[in-house]
Structure formats: structure tokens, C-alpha cells
Structure 1
């Protein structure tokens, strides 16, 4: 993403600014020539990836393809200043199983994100990945499709519910895109505050499940929830909802989350504390609200 790095390779490259790619998760699982993991994309409904949109002369694409060895160039639609734009990006099927990206490599990615003013939450995610040395995202969907699950927030079987589904973007982190229907408003055109609180509660509960060990049945409930409404959250427009684990101590998990509008502005922020009720080796249970 860094202008100087691309500019020395492709003379015609001109940065246009930050852009958002929907329904793709950013991962570091492409096998690099040095054996370490490099950036990659994977289709993941509800996920999103932030990057930098460049204008490049048609004659330079062949050279760029050679530089991006091991990747396939594909055409996508990205969002720039609230408008869709056709663009090209790269993904790879030459994957590594458990190699981490090099610290210097994540440093280059982070430098490009800072240079072009990518959203603070995305930069924080890159910083966490650099500090931990982990690959920043799995793209694994989290769906509670048990026929006995009738949760208003996440059940795919509740016809009157929100039917939320989240994608894991790393251990203890999730995100999704969602459009609040106009009839779920407070003031016309603005999502009801209770609906926003539900979106946050669901996101943070799913993030707790994303932090669970493989095979762990994490039966949890909300015991504290705090929501801050920073700006009107629109109905009828795609929202980005994210949550992550802040810390875990004993039976309790502390979470945080946010809702952003189509232009990437933070509309709602929330924090919560969840408590483990029981654990077993059986199927996971959907998160619940202790007050319900």
C-alpha cells in the first residue's frame, strides 16, 4: 500500500485514497518466496478489507502481474467515498498452513495504512497482528444453525429476527455487514437505539465464541452492557459491525465493539462483560442475554 514502494516498481501508479472491499477477508496465508506468509484475500460474506485504490496505466498491468508472482489478478468492486468503483486486486491459492508473516512485512503494510489514512480500527488490527506475530484473520463464519436456536439476533430460523451472521477476523474478533430495515427505526431513517444495542450485544457475544478453543462449548451470557451513541446510525444502508475480545479473567470476558456507516464513520461504540456459565465438549450454544 505504501506509495514509494509501488512507485519505484510501477511508474504510472497514482494513489487515489482509501477504499473498502466488501465480502472478502484479509489474511496472511499466501506462501512467499522466503517461506513466510504474505497478504492474501479470501471470499467471506459479511467481511470487509480496507486498502488503497491506485490508478495504473493499462500498459503497466503486465509488469505488475509479474511482480505479484504467485497471485491471480481478479476484478472486484470497491467502495470509495460512498460510491462503488471497479478495480483489480490479487489473491492466491498457494497457501501456507501455520507460517506467520514476518514483522518487517507487516511493518510495510502498516506504514501504507498510516500513510493513506485507513480507518483507525483497521490500523489497530494491523498493529495487533504485528505485535502478536499472528496472521490477522481467518475468514471463518460463525453460525448457530441449531433448529432449537430461536435467538432474535442470530438464529437463521427466526423469521422475525435479525438473522445476524458473523465472520471471524482473528482469534476473539468478528465482523459483519448488515442493513437495518426502515421499520426498525426510532426517528425516521435512524436505527432504533435498542436495535443498535442488540447488534452490539450479538457482535460481542460472537467475538467471545471466536476466542474459544476448538471444540469448546462456550455457554455465556451478558452481565454488563454499555452503549455510546456517537452519531445517527442510518437504516437502509450497509453498516459494518465489529467486535473483539479485550481481556479474559476467570469466568469473565471483557469485550468491545463498534458500528460504522457506509462511509466508515463510527456511529455506535459499546463495551460489555460476559460470564461463562458452563463448558463441555458438546456443540456450541448461541450467546444469550442474562437479562432476557
Structure 2
């Protein structure tokens, strides 16, 4: 059923070829790995391949019981659909024989250890990590600080509604006589969005209203750490989102960049302290340096712009 849909003969790069030649090509285009071949016989491998925007589509059979291993894929995800035969997956002290119609998901930091049966043929979709960050930004989902992780690595294709048809559609587009880059990019976004919504991941797909809660949580974190070094990277990590999402959040809720917001909050805290007779302050320099303002001239200038007077005037007025 699936065989006719996922890459046709038009995409064939190798037909009845040396498995090592196919393996070299896979290393260049699909993902780093090494293969261990059976000692006897002369197996013949086949491979179809297409670039599709920033994805790679691949259909492969080694023609022998080949063991494929890799430390980790690093900055790519592999989605592998078994079309024929079976494939033994080993990892994290477990093993599973994948059968036709099953889908294996490999995270960038997962070790790869797969043994193909003689008649095994599979379709591989290679997805760069940055695509998941882009889609999370656009959907306003919380991008995890450590990156997206698929929490389950095994699925039945027929349980993922419409996903096989979507894969077939991008294969068809990839083989179309006229390539339209914009169309390919749209399909790429759709397929990554579907992966995030159909499969179990560590991405929090929050409702739009909860963005406010996220901003309040970040504002609270800033308020508690004003005397410490707070940069945008650290805030993005704390909020489990990308820098781009963080900047968007501050633009919507505070109308300024995270850096300017932190500076404003520090100035407000200093102003409150200089105004309050119960706050133990010996001089302006000490309190300014306490909050990370090392250039006193610039600090006084920013303070005057915000409060209409010099910090020394505020301090004098409280006595």
C-alpha cells in the first residue's frame, strides 16, 4: 500500500549497487552512521533521495542483514517508516522489531543501533532541529530550553491521522517537474507542525491566554534577581523558549526589549531605595554598583531621564 506512495523510481540514485557506496551517500546527505555487513554473499543495495526545502527524503534497502550504528545524529531528527521486511531497534536497554507500517522516531541525541532484515526497505525523513524552533515560534508554543524531544519513539502509521498521506504528498511535490521553493517551505512547516501535534513531545502547546502567565513568571524571576547578571539567553532558558519568542513576548507585554526592561526595573528599585529612609544606603555609587551599573555617568543620565532628577537629588530629599 505504502510502497507506491513514498518516492518512486524517478528519485532513484542507486539501483542494485554496492552497499558501501550507498552508505557513503547516506553519510553525506541523510545522517552519519557506519554499517556492518554479513561476511558472505554480495548484497545489492538501492537508494532513492530528494532534497525538499530543508528536509531530506530517502528510500533505502541494503539487500542484506546490515547493522547500522551511529553515536547520535546531533542536529537532526530521523523519522523512519518501515515499508518491507523488519528492522531490529536496540536502545536504552530495550529492543523492538519494527514491522511494515510502523514508524521509528530518532532524537538528535539518541544512539542509533538498527539491524535490517535481508528484505528490509524503509523511508527516512531527515528534519533539522532548527525547523522545530521556527515552528514553535510561529505557533507560540513553548520551545524547551534543551530542545524538542520525542518522548515515544514508536508509532503505528495508521494511528497518526492523515500523516501517511502528508508524507506521500511531499514525496509527490519533491518529484514534481516544476519545483516551487515557497510551496516546499509551506509543506515543511506543515509536516513539522503535525509531528509536534500528533506525537508525544516535551513541547508545551499552551493556549494563547497562558502567554500572560509566562510573562508574569519571567517578570517575577527578574524582580527576584535584579542584583545578579541577567541576560536574554538566561531569561529564554528560564522560560523554556527561544530568544525570538522571548523578544516577541516582551514586545507584546512590555513594549521593549528584555534588556531595556531589566534596566528599567533596576532603576525603579534604586529609585525606591534612594527615596526610602529605612533603606540602608551610604551613597549613590554603592547602590548603583550593587545593581550592576558600573558606568556612573551613564547611570545618572538614565536615572534622570526616567525620574526627572539626579539620583543624588533623590537621596538628599529623603533626609
Q: TM-score range with shorter-chain normalisation?
A: under 0.3
Higher helix share: 2
Please report the TM-score for the alignment, with normalisation by the length of structure 1.
Answer: 0.22
Please say which structure displays the higher CA radius of gyration: 2
Higher strand share: 1
